[in-house]
């Protein structure tokens, strides 16, 4: 008995062996900092949460609703649950499988087939408890379990990526709606001014003061503004439709005084972050978990070259009478250890190992590509931050100059110094300048949101999935 217990302990210890290659994170294919210079030193390692970054209360409400109801996010969460179930299935293979079975057979044999020439009725009943266990001596099952775990963690990072993208998309669509609504208002005001100017020019034309050319120019301005008005009405409606899909349910604005585009609708992002923050991005973490998954598959492919040992046993009772099934002397047991040694597989095992190693090399390249793309997105966002500030400052100065130009042109036209063409040119330039200020401000805000997303979004106050799985496992 002691010898059996000792043998079982040795086999259990051996079952902890693993042939998974030691993992080393690939060297980063990007610089340590975004740009050269002392101002790029690491100053902060954690981004602010989305509730702190987006300051508009109405926008915060919409993001909260979207996180509860968006269908894409719901699908991503279900994918996580599905891969978790696959991990649980694979993890169960490590432990012995126990089954209980009960059987009963009652047979009538015809007389011409029996020895006595008379029909015979026989019965057999059994109750069995069976145990089967594959000894994981070389870590094949544990390698597959590790592979399933990494697939699960990769799916959870994919869900987090969908979550961050959803927050950014809701914010971008909401601000685009704000900008299009502002453009619609500017266009409506401009159209009203053009219509008043056209009416005045028409009356002047009727009394012979204004020429037909001036009248045609005034009408052209009116129709151009009407075209723009229809375009912005369509864009506002489409923005509302897009926001409805993102939020996941019909919605209507509830805030009486939402923040305007010119106000501080976004918090300042920390500057001087090291490129190490890229390793916390969900797409980078997803790619790394996928790399760990294929690395674990190499261990399973290597273990397939070695023997596999299975222990199968059963114990129970059997009797020809159901009343005697659990009586004295009806006990029986079986023990059937087996070993399978691969001898000739026509190169299939070697090909499987080659495939696993090639897949790892592919995943390394994909992982490095994700890192490079992430670095470029952040670098582009940092460059856009500086240039948008300069562009918007210049555009606002142009708007002030255009307003002054319009005031002077209107005054000179009213006293008969300049032609109507000069006034019309001033009106059009002022209209375009107002549109450009709104569009450039929107572009600046969208670039800040893109930078926030590129840096990995904010803290969603969720526990680490990996720690939770490890604790349960």
* The model's pTM: 0.82
Please give the tally of structural domains in the chain: 2
Q: What is the pLDDT of residues 179-195, one digit of tens each?
A: 999 999 999 999 998 99
Q: Per-residue confidence at 27, pLDDT binned at 50, 70, 90?
A: confident
Share of the chain above pLDDT 90, in %: 45
Q: Which residue has the tokens 């919605």?
A: 251
Q: Let me know whether 373 and 286 are in one domain.
A: yes
Q: What is the pLDDT of residues 203-217, one digit of tens each?
A: 888 888 778 888 898
Question: Helix axis angle, 57-69 relative to 71-92, nearest 10°?
Answer: 40
Ranges 13-22, 210-219, 299-308: which has the least confidence: 13-22
CATH number at residue 286: 1.20.1600.10
How far, in Å, CA of 119 to CA of 270, rounded? Answer: 93
Q: Let me know whether 228 and 116 are in one domain.
A: no
Q: Per-residue confidence at 399, pLDDT binned at 50, 70, 90?
A: very high
Ranges 74-83, 106-115, 148-157, 283-292: which has the least confidence: 106-115
Backbone angles phi, psi at 146, to 5 degrees: -65, -40
Q: Could you tell me the sign of the dihedral formed by the alpha carbons of 76, 82, 86, 92, in that order? A: positive
Is 138 in contact with 303 (CB distance < 8 Å)? Answer: yes
Q: Let me know whether 301 and 319 are in one domain.
A: no
How far, in Å, CA of 252 to CA of 399, rounded? Answer: 33
Q: What is the pLDDT of residues 221-252, one digit of tens each?
A: 999 999 999 999 999 999 999 999 999 988 87
Q: What is the mean pLDDT of residues 17-42?
A: 68
**Environment class of 379 (CB within 10 Å of its CB; exposed 0-12, middle 13-18, buried 19+):** middle
Q: Flag whether pLDDT at 4 surpasses 90.
A: no
How far, in Å, CA of 453 to CA of 94, rounded? Answer: 40
Q: Per-residue confidence at 465, pLDDT binned at 50, 70, 90?
A: very low
Q: Let me know whether 368 and 284 are in one domain.
A: yes
CATH number at residue 332: 2.20.200.10
Q: Let me know whether 120 and 245 are in one domain.
A: no
Quick one: pLDDT at residue 361?
92
In a domain, 9, yes or no: no
Q: Let me know whether 254 and 214 are in one domain.
A: yes
Q: Which domain covers residue 43, as residue numbers?
A: 15-94+136-306+346-472
Q: Let me know whether 296 and 332 are in one domain.
A: no
How far, in Å, CA of 195 to CA of 389, rounded? Answer: 35
Cα–Cα distance list, 366 to 28, 157, 288, 415 (Å): 12, 16, 9, 70
Q: Flag whether pLDDT at 115 surpasses 90.
A: no
Q: Of the candidates 91, 93, 87, which has an alpha carbon nearest to the alpha carbon of residue 135? A: 93
């Amino acid at each position: 008995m002691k010898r059996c217990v000792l043998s079982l302990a040795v086999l259990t210890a051996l079952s902890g062996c693993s042939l998974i290659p030691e993992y080393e994170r690939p060297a980063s294919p990007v610089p340590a900092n975004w740009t050269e210079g002392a101002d790029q030193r690491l100053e902060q390692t954690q981004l602010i949460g989305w509730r702190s970054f987006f300051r508009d209360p109405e926008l915060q409400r919409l993001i909260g609703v979207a996180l509860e109801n968006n269908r894409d996010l719901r699908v991503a969460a279900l994918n996580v649950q599905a891969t978790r179930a696959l991990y649980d299935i694979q993890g169960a293979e490590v432990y012995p499988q126990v089954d209980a079975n009960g059987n009963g057979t009652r047979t009538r044999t015809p007389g011409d087939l029996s020895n006595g020439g008379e029909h015979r009725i026989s019965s057999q009943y059994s109750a069995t408890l069976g145990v089967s266990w594959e000894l994981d001596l070389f870590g094949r099952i544990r390698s597959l379990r590790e592979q399933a775990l990494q697939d699960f963690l990769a799916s959870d990072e994919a869900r987090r990526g969908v979550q961050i993208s959803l927050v950014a998309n809701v914010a971008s669509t909401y601000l685009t709606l704000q900008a299009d609504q502002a453009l619609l208002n500017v266009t409506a005001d401009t159209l009203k001014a053009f219509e008043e100017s056209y009416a005045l020019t028409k009356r002047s034309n009727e009394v012979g003061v204004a020429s037909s050319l001036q009248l045609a120019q005034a009408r052209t301005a009116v129709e151009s503004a009407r075209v723009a008005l229809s375009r912005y009405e369509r864009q506002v409606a489409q923005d509302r439709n897009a926001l409805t899909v993102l939020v996941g349910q019909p919605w209507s604005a509830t805030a009486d005084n939402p923040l305007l585009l010119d106000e501080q609708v976004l918090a300042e992002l920390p500057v001087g972050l090291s490129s190490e923050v890229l390793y916390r991005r969900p797409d980078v973490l997803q790619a790394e978990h996928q790399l760990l998954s294929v690395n674990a598959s190499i261990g399973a492919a290597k273990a397939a070259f070695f023997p596999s040992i299975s222990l199968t046993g059963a114990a129970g009772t059997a009797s020809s009478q159901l009343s005697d099934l659990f009586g004295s002397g009806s006990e029986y047991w079986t023990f059937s250890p087996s070993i399978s040694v691969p001898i000739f597989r026509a190169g299939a095992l070697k090909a499987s190992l080659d495939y696993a190693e090639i897949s790892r090399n592919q995943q390394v390249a994909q992982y490095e590509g994700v890192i490079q793309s992430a670095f470029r997105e952040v670098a582009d966002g940092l460059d856009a931050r500086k240039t948008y500030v300069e562009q918007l400052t210049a555009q606002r100065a142009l708007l002030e100059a255009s307003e002054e130009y319009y005031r002077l042109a209107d005054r000179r036209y009213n006293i008969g110094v300049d032609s109507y063409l000069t006034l019309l040119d001033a009106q059009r330039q002022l209209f375009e300048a107002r549109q450009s200020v709104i569009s450039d401000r929107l572009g600046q805000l969208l670039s800040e949101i893109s930078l926030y997303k590129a840096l990995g979004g904010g803290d969603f106050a969720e526990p680490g999935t990996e720690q939770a799985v490890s604790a349960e496992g």
